[in-house]
């Protein structure tokens, strides 16, 4: 039985279709990512699970039970908010113990559980501090402890690492992953950062314009995108329009090809000839931007490969298996 399941769920705000006919099953114990640009409906989906929004149409089930008519305070899910939403008038201990206090657990038990939760996020001894006295990373851990101390069956995380700097973000990615393995509960997190989704999640749902474009493992969405949007957004892949693909393969379908799989030759021996419009040095590789007719392409060249100059006309080559055909009409 899936932990969370969306059954043709829509959420409209006036004429805006924030979420539009979403079907989705999230398995128990999964680390699941909802990925998409801002305004794609991913956060609304998270809020629908938490109960902050009600579906305009369709049904949401948690472990098989419909929660359509269940307010947030009756759902066994907890949320780590993007802005952490720590209560500024309470110290760390009372913030983390809030859910237990509401549940009417006795003080001694509460204190014990809070201490254990703070220990788990490596903030033991911070109980008496006010949220305003903590750094961004510490606040995030408090928010995590505050949610996990209630032993939710599903933990929701809204852009959990968005406000942290790069180094801290990488460290928290590791911590979140090991925490999830250790606790074995379902994590659903929302992010607009494809790198974050790819490195952390077991499975990813890619959102665009209120709809799910593709659900799959990180390898699926990265190497085998279903539609041009996923190819572009997740993999920063080159998308070849259907008309162009037809001249190359005879099949009228859009196709994706990874930038690192494009090879540059001189002259016109390759499948496609293109003009070099820019070069940028990335360290391990050099990124070459190209223009073939109306299609803009990117190639990543290893540092030992011969480098073209800007304005050169080059021929593009690839192995036939690297051209990934997609559905859609881009």
Partner 1 sequence: MSTAAHSAAGGPLARLSDALWRSPRLLLAILLGPPLLWLGVIYLGSLFALLLQSFFSIDHFTGMVVREFTLRTYAELFTPANFDIIVRTVTMAACVTLASAIIGFPIAYYAARYARGRWRAAFYLGIMMPLWSSYLVKVYAWKLILAKEGILNWALDGIHLQWVLDAYLSLPVVGGNSLSVSPTGTFIVFVYVWMPFMILPMQAALERVPVSMLEASGDLGAQPGQTFRHVLFPLALPGVVAGSIFTFSLTLGDYIIPQIIGTSRLFIGQAVYQHQGVAGNIPLAAAFAVVPILIMGLYLWGAKRMGAFNAL
Contacts with partner 1, residue ranges (CB under 8 A): 50-52, 71-73, 77-79, 81-83, 85-89, 98-99, 101-103, 146-147, 150
Q: How far is the CB of 99 from partner 1 (least distance, A)?
A: 4
How far apart are CB 130 and partner 1 at their closest, in Å? Answer: 9
At 103 the three-state DSSP class reads coil
In three-state secondary structure terms, 174 is: helix
A 10 A CB-CB count for 79 gives 24
Q: Minimal distance in Å, beta carbon 81 to partner 1?
A: 5
Positive or negative, the CA dihedral 177, 182, 183, 186 is positive
The residue among 146 and 203 lying less far from partner 1, judged by its C-beta, is: 146
Region for residue 167 given its phi and psi (left: phi exceeds 0; alpha: psi -120 to 50; beta: otherwise): alpha
Kindly state the smallest distance separating residue 83's Cβ from partner 1, in Å: 6
Q: Shortest approach of partner 1 to residue 327 CB, angstroms?
A: 38
Choice between 99 and 259, CB closer to partner 1: 99
Nearer to partner 1, 157 or 276 (CB): 157
Alpha-carbon dihedral 187, 193, 197, 200, rounded to 10 degrees: -80
Q: State how far the Cα of 284 lies from the Cα of 275, in Å rounded to an integer.
A: 23
Q: How far is the CB of 75 from partner 1 (least distance, A)?
A: 8
Closest Cα to residue 330, out of 255, 257, 278?
255
User: Residue 174's CB: how many other CB atoms inside 10 A?
Assistant: 11
For the bound state, the minimum distance from the C-beta of residue 119 to partner 1, rounded and expressed in Å, comes to 20
Q: What angle do CA 158, 164, 165 make, to 5 degrees?
A: 145
Q: Estimate the crossing angle of helix 136-148 against helix 107-120, to 10 degrees.
A: 130
Q: Which long-range contacts (CB under 8 A, 24 or more apart) does 167-171 make?
A: 168/136, 168/137, 169/196
Comparing CB distances to partner 1, the nearer of 98 and 222 is 98
Task: Between 145 and 234, name the residue whose CB sits nearer to partner 1.
Answer: 145
Q: How far apart are CA 186 and CA 148, in angstroms?
A: 11
The answer to whether 207 and 213 are in contact (CB under 8 A) is: yes
Q: Which residue lies nearer to partner 1 by CB, 142 or 239?
A: 142
Q: How far is the CB of 183 from partner 1 (least distance, A)?
A: 18
Q: Given CA atoms 193, 199, 201, 207 in this order, what sign does their dihedral have? A: positive
For residues 144 and 234, which CB has a smaller minimum distance to partner 1 in the complex?
Answer: 144
The least distance separating partner 1 from the CB of residue 63, rounded to whole angstroms, comes to 18
132 or 182, CB closer to partner 1?
Answer: 132
Cβ-based nearer residue to partner 1, 61 or 130:
130
CA distance 100 to 304: 60
């Amino acid at each position: 039985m899936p932990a969370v399941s969306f059954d043709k769920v829509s959420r409209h705000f006036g004429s805006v279709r924030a979420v539009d006919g979403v079907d989705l099953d999230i398995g128990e114990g999964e680390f699941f990512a909802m990925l998409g640009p801002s305004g794609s409906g991913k956060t609304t989906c998270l809020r629908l699970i938490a109960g902050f929004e009600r579906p305009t149409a369709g049904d949401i089930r948690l472990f098989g039970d419909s929660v359509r008519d269940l307010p947030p305070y009756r759902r066994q899910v907890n949320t780590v908010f993007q802005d952490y939403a720590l209560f500024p008038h309470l110290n760390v201990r009372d913030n983390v113990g809030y859910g237990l206090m509401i549940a009417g657990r006795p003080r001694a038990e509460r204190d014990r559980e809070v201490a254990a939760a703070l220990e788990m996020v490596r903030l033991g001894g911070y109980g008496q501090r006010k949220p305003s006295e903590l750094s961004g990373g510490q606040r995030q851990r408090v928010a995590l402890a505050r949610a996990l101390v209630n032993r939710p069956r599903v933990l929701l995380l809204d852009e959990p690492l968005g406000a942290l700097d790069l180094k801290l973000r990488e460290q928290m990615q590791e911590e979140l992953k090991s925490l999830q393995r250790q606790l074995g509960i379902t994590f659903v997190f929302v992010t607009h950062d494809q790198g974050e989704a790819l490195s952390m999640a077991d499975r990813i749902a890619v959102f665009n314009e209120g709809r799910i474009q593709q659900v799959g493992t990180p390898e699926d969405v990265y190497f085998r995108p279903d539609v041009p949007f996923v190819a572009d957004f997740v993999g920063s892949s080159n998308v070849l329009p259907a008309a162009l693909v037809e001249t190359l393969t005879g099949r009228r379908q859009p196709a994706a090809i990874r930038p690192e799989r494009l090879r540059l030759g001189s002259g016109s021996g390759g499948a496609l000839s293109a003009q070099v419009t820019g070069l940028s040095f990335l360290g391990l590789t050099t990124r070459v931007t190209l223009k073939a007719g109306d299609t803009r392409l990117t190639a990543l060249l290893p540092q030992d490969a011969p480098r073209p100059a800007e304005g050169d006309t080059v021929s593009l080559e690839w192995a036939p298996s690297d051209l990934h055909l997609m559905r859609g009409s881009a």
